[in-house]
Structure 1
Amino acid sequence: MSSHSSSWPQVIEGQYLDQRKLVVLLRNVYGTSTEGKNNFRVELRLNRYKIYPSEHLSGMALTEDQIQDCRVCNRR
Structure 2
Amino acid sequence: MRLWKLLGLAGLAGVAATGTVLARDERQRRAYAADDVRARLHERHAALAAVPEAEPVPVAELTAGRKHRLARVLRRC
Give the TM-score of the pair, scaled to structure 2. Answer: 0.18
Which structure has the larger Rg over C-alpha atoms?
2
Higher relative contact order (CA 8 A, sep 6+): 1
Q: Which has the higher strand share?
A: 1
Q: Which has the higher helix share?
A: 2
